[in-house]
Amino acid sequence: MWIRKSKIESLSVDVKKLLAGEDVDIRDHQEGALHILRNDIHTLSAYKREQVEVLMQERDILKDTLADISHQLKTPLTSMMIMADLLENAPPAKQAEFIASIQSSLHRTEWLVSALLKMAKLEANSVAFKISPISSADLVKHAISSLSIQLELKGQAVQIVGQEEILCDKRWTSEALGNIIKNASEHSPHGAIIQVEVGKNPLSTWIKVTDQGDGLTRPQIAKIFKRFQGSENAQGFGIGLPLALTIMRSQFGDIDVDGGGKGTGASFTLKFYRRHGE
């Protein structure tokens, strides 16, 4: 089968345009080897564009994350540098105070960087979730394991009501649930009982965390899942709840909020929607 030189030259021109980044549709619906080649080149070009778009999105996410980390680290690092400069000539009592403050700032800074990097991985869709069944009791136990000191210092307890099997990624979901319970602890008084209720309905299996605080207003609820905006705690960054929501939505779930009020604390409900075939 002979192919005209003009057709090959035309294809070559179109390929050069594609390589230059121009949006050219070189497909045709005729028969023959050259037309099949044209369609294959178009498919390859479309795949290349999609890959470039993904890389650009990941670059933007990384850029925003680095900007967030830089902005949020500026204040604690400046504070630690000032205390370190004053440490040598300070009296013993003040030295101990400075050292304790520096250690606290380092722990908070470490948590912030870790949380932001986790958020970046999730937003870039670079996390492979390992979905498997786990009992709600084991999930809650794993989630609060890192909160034992905070709960003990405030004389608080976590009360679990109900028992269900949850299909989720244990590690990441424990992170999300732990952040929700941590938030409940921070907004509950000393000696409070944080209730964790578990149940299911035709659409989802759910875990509801209720604190004993004063509740949330609508303006507070509107910004509570926005990074660096939702926290009204002097020790908070406003990143824990947005991270929890991103984790849930990344594995076909969601979080609902009931603001409570009038003597009732706020409730956060983690919903694990049932997948096809369950």
DSSP 180-197: HHHHHHHTS-TT-EEEEE
Domain final residue pick, 92, 126, 160: 126
Extract the runs of DSSP E, i.e. beta strands, from 224-275: 253-258, 267-273
Residue 206 has pLDDT above 50, yes or no: yes
Average pLDDT of the residues of the chain: 82
Domain of residue 218, CATH code: 3.30.565.10
Q: pLDDT, tens digit, for every residue of 131-179?
A: 999 999 999 999 998 888 889 989 999 999 999 999 999 999 999 999 9
Residue 278 lies in a domain: no
Residue 185 lies in a domain: yes
Residue 30 belongs to domain spanning: 1-126
CA 81 to chain centre: 30
Q: pLDDT, tens digit, for every residue of 26-53?
A: 777 666 676 677 777 777 777 777 777 7
Same domain, 71 and 136: no
CA distance 25 to 18: 9
Same domain, 258 and 205: yes
Q: Are 184 and 210 in contact (CB under 8 A)?
A: yes
Compute the average pLDDT of residues 198-206: 94
Same domain, 165 and 111: no
Count CB atoms within 10 A of the CB of residue 7. Answer: 13
pTM for the model stands at 0.67
Q: pLDDT, tens digit, for every residue of 61-87?
A: 677 767 766 766 777 788 888 888 888
Residue 244 lies in a domain: yes
DSSP H or E run through 160: strand 157-161
For the beta sheet containing 253-258, the strands, ordered from the edge strand earlier in sequence to the opposite edge, are 157-161, 193-200, 204-210, 267-273, 253-258
Residue 96 lies in a domain: yes
CA distance 21 to 45: 10
Same domain, 85 and 140: no
Number of domains in the chain: 2
Residue 10 has pLDDT above 60, yes or no: yes
Same domain, 114 and 242: no
Residue 234 has pLDDT above 50, yes or no: no
